[in-house]
Amino acid sequence: GGGYAAMAEGEGLLSVDYEVSGRVQGVFFRKYTQGEAKRLGLVGWVQNTSHGTVQGQIQGPTARVRELQEWLRKTGSPQSRISRAEFSNEKKIVALEHKDFQILK
């Protein structure tokens, strides 16, 4: 590949689903995730699941999505304890499918 492919890769839009396990409910995890996503200019959603994890979807520029993935893997909210962050259904998209980043009940 040449330099152009690498540039296009960095500028493209990515969509990825995530699920974070550990002590992630009742510790403002969703609120912090929303704040971080908005800071990075990403769209998508986040919600608690019935089995104690937090899940959602992130969409935006590839490099920014990677930053939030790293944040979900290592940082989270101040009181959270992340044991695992799993990502799935990663795909390139041509347009964002969400207007903003929402916390779903």
Active-site residue 48, yes or no? yes
Catalytic residue of the set 23, 30, 39, 89:
30
Active-site residue 64, yes or no? no
Query: What is d(CA 40, CA 32) in angstroms, rounded to the nearest whole number?
Result: 12
50: exposed, middle or buried (Cβ count in 10 Å: 0-12, 13-18, 19+)? exposed
Element at 4 (helix H, strand E):
helix 3-11
| 8 Å CB contact between 43 and 102 | no
Query: What is d(CA 48, CA 24) in angstroms, rounded to the nearest whole number?
Result: 9
Catalytic residue of the set 48, 64, 66, 89:
48
Query: What is d(CA 11, CA 60) in angstroms, rounded to the nearest whole number?
Result: 9
Q: Which residues are catalytic?
A: 30, 48
